[in-house]
């Protein structure tokens, strides 16, 4: 589904391991891979300045990957001085990347509010999708496992759907990528609708179930017509909890989410399902940035 990506690593997220799996990433469809690392300004003394020693050390750590790129795949190393949240949008524009791959630890709302987040900034300021891999998972993969993961980053997507504008926007983005993907790297979708309820099913719940099933059936028909296997699931309860439960039960590669308007993502202290998934999911998350 994607051909040109930025892999952004701070060397604590485990994504620097991916320099050894460029052939596997290429097998997943990438034709251009840019490894990005940012070095903070050295602020000792009166005037902040570029920390050239750390820049050279980071370049040496990543540069070897360039010499082992498979034919037809361009691999670039970019080590810049400054803040990642400011540098990444510039590199996106420079290389016309269609995906940002980064590692973000799960955090509580308090931690996110106090410390901020590069991910939070990127959801505000970029239009390219983000694929978020949790450092805790990347760190424990054996080489054989990580090699397979890199080949199938989005083969099977779990797509939360509730018939709302953001859900329809998400489906439109997924359909657009499928239409542009000659290799059919996305082979399966799990459409999940969570009816919010309190446990025992009521007559009203029954109507909501029926409506959910009918709307999911229509979306399933559209996706299936594009050559994707589709499974639909309707659950009741807390949306985040039920989505995580279904994710554990299904054989998925990532959870896809989106929000149509940037407004709800400008402040992560406001309640939003997309925000909650971005903060709390242990599964890889494919987030489609708003078009507005």
Q: What value, to the nearest 5°, has the Cα angle with vertex 102 and ends 179 and 239?
A: 70
Instruction: Specify the DSSP class assigned to residue 70.
Output: P
Q: Domain for residue 77, yes or no?
A: yes
Same domain flag for 72 and 176: no
Q: 221-228: which pairs have CB atoms within 8 A and are 24 or more residues apart?
A: 222/171, 222/175, 223/171, 223/174, 223/175, 223/178, 223/189, 223/191, 226/175, 226/178, 226/179, 227/178, 227/184, 228/178, 228/186, 228/187, 228/188, 228/189
b/e for 18-48, b at 16 or more Cβ within 10 A? bbebbebbbbbbbebbbbbbbbeeeeeeeee
Same domain flag for 82 and 209: no
Query: pLDDT-derived band of residue 4, with 50, 70 and 90 as boundaries?
Result: very high
Q: Domain for residue 288, yes or no?
A: no
Query: pLDDT-derived band of residue 252, with 50, 70 and 90 as boundaries?
Result: very high
Q: Mark which of 114, 129, 153 sits at the end of a domain.
A: 153
Same domain flag for 148 and 243: no
Check residue 173 and give its pLDDT: 94
Mean pLDDT value across residues 83-93: 91
Same domain flag for 46 and 174: no
* Dihedral of alpha carbons 106, 111, 115, 116, sign: positive
User: What six digits make up the tokens of 269?
Assistant: 């202290």
Same domain flag for 137 and 176: no
Alpha carbon distance 248, 244 (integer Å): 6
Q: Domain for residue 263, yes or no?
A: yes
Give the residue with greater pLDDT, 195 vs 289: 195
Q: Domain for residue 257, yes or no?
A: yes
Cα separations in angstroms, 180 against 29, 119, 168, 177 = 12, 26, 19, 5
User: What residue numbers bound the domain in which 272 lies?
Assistant: 154-281
Cα separations in angstroms, 141 against 6, 144, 235, 277 = 21, 8, 31, 22
Q: Is the pLDDT of residue 153 over 80?
A: yes
Same domain flag for 129 and 13: yes
Alpha carbon distance 86, 273 (integer Å): 26
CATH of the domain at 212: 3.40.50.620
Give the residue with greater pLDDT, 94 vs 290: 94
Alpha carbon distance 251, 188 (integer Å): 10
Q: How many domains is the chain partitioned into structurally?
A: 2
Q: Domain for residue 242, yes or no?
A: yes
Check residue 6 and give its pLDDT: 96
Q: Domain for residue 94, yes or no?
A: yes
Same domain flag for 32 and 64: yes
Query: pLDDT-derived band of residue 268, with 50, 70 and 90 as boundaries?
Result: very low
Strand partners, 134: none
Range scoring the smallest mean pLDDT among 63-67, 75-79, 221-225 = 63-67
Query: pLDDT-derived band of residue 41, with 50, 70 and 90 as boundaries?
Result: confident
What's the whole-number average pLDDT of the chain? Answer: 85
Reported pTM: 0.88
Residue with tokens 């489906």: 171
Instruction: Specify the DSSP class assigned to residue 168.
Output: H
Q: Mark which of 123, 153, 183 sits at the end of a domain.
A: 153
Extended beta strands in the chain, E state = 4-8, 32-39, 74-81, 99-103, 130-133, 156-160, 188-195, 229-236, 254-258, 285-288
- Residues 6+ away with beta carbon under 8 Å from 232: 190, 191, 192, 193, 213, 216, 217, 220
Alpha carbon distance 103, 105 (integer Å): 7
Same domain flag for 138 and 163: no
Instruction: Specify the DSSP class assigned to residue 164.
Output: S
Cα separations in angstroms, 157 against 38, 174, 283 = 31, 10, 11
Same domain flag for 32 and 166: no
Mean pLDDT value across residues 176-199: 87
Extended beta strands in 155-263, E state = 156-160, 188-195, 229-236, 254-258
Same domain flag for 270 and 249: yes
pLDDT in tens, 94-144: 999 999 999 876 555 444 443 346 777 777 777 889 999 998 889 899 999
């Amino acid at each position: 589904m994607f051909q040109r990506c930025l892999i952004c690593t701070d060397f604590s997220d485990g994504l620097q391991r991916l320099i050894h799996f460029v052939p596997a990433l290429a097998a997943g469809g990438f034709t251009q891979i840019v490894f990005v690392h940012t070095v903070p300004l050295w602020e000792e003394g009166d005037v902040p300045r570029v920390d050239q020693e750390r820049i050279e050390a980071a370049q040496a750590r990543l540069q070897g990957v360039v010499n082992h790129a498979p034919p037809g795949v361009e691999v670039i190393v970019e080590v810049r001085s400054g803040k990642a949240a400011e540098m990444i949008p510039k590199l996106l524009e420079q290389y016309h990347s269609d995906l940002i791959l980064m590692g973000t630890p799960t955090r509580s709302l308090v931690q996110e509010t106090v410390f901020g987040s590069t991910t939070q900034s990127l959801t505000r300021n970029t239009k390219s999708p983000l694929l978020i891999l949790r450092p805790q998972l990347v760190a424990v993969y054996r080489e054989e496992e990580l090699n397979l993961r890199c080949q199938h980053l989005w083969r099977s997507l779990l797509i939360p759907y509730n018939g709302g504008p953001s859900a329809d926007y998400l489906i439109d983005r997924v359909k657009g990528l499928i239409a542009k993907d000659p290799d059919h790297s996305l082979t399966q979708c799990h459409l999940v609708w969570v009816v919010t309820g309190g446990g025992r099913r009521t007559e009203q719940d029954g109507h909501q179930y029926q409506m959910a099933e009918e709307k999911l059936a229509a979306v399933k028909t559209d996706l299936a017509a594009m050559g994707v296997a589709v499974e639909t699931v309707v659950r009741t309860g807390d949306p985040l909890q039920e989505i995580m439960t279904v994710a554990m039960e299904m054989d998925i590669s990532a959870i896809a989410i989106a929000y149509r308007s940037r407004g709800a993502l400008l402040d992560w202290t406001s309640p939003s399902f997309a925000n909650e998934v971005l903060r709390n999911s242990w599964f890889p998350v494919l987030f489609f940035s708003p078009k507005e």
